[in-house]
Amino acid sequence: MQSKTKVISDIKSLTKICENLTAQNQKIVMTNGCFDIIHPGHVYLLAESKKLGDALIVAVNSDASVRRLKGDNRPINNQEDRLYVLSGLQSVDYVILFDEETPEKLICSILPDILVKGSDYRNKEIAGRNCMEENKKRIILVDILPGKSTTNVIDKASKS
């Protein structure tokens, strides 16, 4: 069901892809999240992220990781479905699952040229910040679309 060319199964494979991209002078951009119910805010963040470079990598929380972060009633969509939807978006070049609560290990292994998060992370801890800054890589916060969140979608659906 997944786009085989976009879904990467492990860090080693992604590292090799990134090495090849870097050798071709391609700018690598990375973002991450649960992407439980894709909404306009997600699509906007991904499109804006893609504009910043040549290849966009999206790191996606596994089902177990989402449950630890959001509770037992999440995710709504399982990890296979979330990977499938993300791999179908034109702005996304590669997707990879991570099982930890944060993608810090993945970010520090890949060291993308640019790490993107939504502007709602302005005063929050950004996973991978230290290794990005130590390696003189950029972190960019993209404005979020007000009122566009998975929580708002779930709340609206539960009131229907």
In the predicted model, is pLDDT for residue 123 greater than 90? no
pTM of this prediction?
A: 0.91
How much is the average pLDDT of 106-131?
Answer: 92
Strand order in the sheet with 114-118: 7-8, 94-98, 55-61, 28-33, 114-118, 138-142
Query: Could you tell me if 48 and 89 are in contact, meaning their C-beta atoms sit under 8 angstroms apart?
Result: no
CB of 114 within 8 A of CB of 32? no
pLDDT of residue 64: 97
117 is a domain residue:
yes
User: CA-CA distance, 153 to 160, in Å (whole number)?
Assistant: 11
Is 142 inside a domain boundary? yes
Residue 23: CATH number of its domain: 3.40.50.620
pLDDT digits (tens, 9 = 90+) for 27-51: 999 999 999 999 899 999 999 999 9
Q: Is the pLDDT of residue 54 over 70?
A: yes
Examine the pLDDT at 1 and tell me if it is beyond 60.
Answer: no
Spatial contact of 134 and 96, defined as CB atoms under 8 Å apart: no
What is the reported pLDDT for 122? 78
Query: Which distant-in-sequence residues (6+ apart) come within 8 Å of 30 by Cβ?
Result: 56, 57, 58, 59, 107, 110, 112, 114, 115, 116
In a domain, 1, yes or no: no
Residue 12 lies in a domain: yes
Mean pLDDT of the chain: 92
Domain holding 112, by residue range, is: 7-159
Total structural domains in the chain? 1
Could you tell me if residue 125 is inside a domain?
yes
Model pLDDT for residues 60-104, shown as the tens digit of each residue: 999 999 999 999 999 999 999 999 999 999 999 999 999 999 999
Question: Encoding tokens for residue 153?
Answer: 């979608």
pLDDT given at position 56: 99
pLDDT band with cut points at 50, 70 and 90 for residue 145 = confident
- The residue with greater pLDDT, 124 or 149, is 124
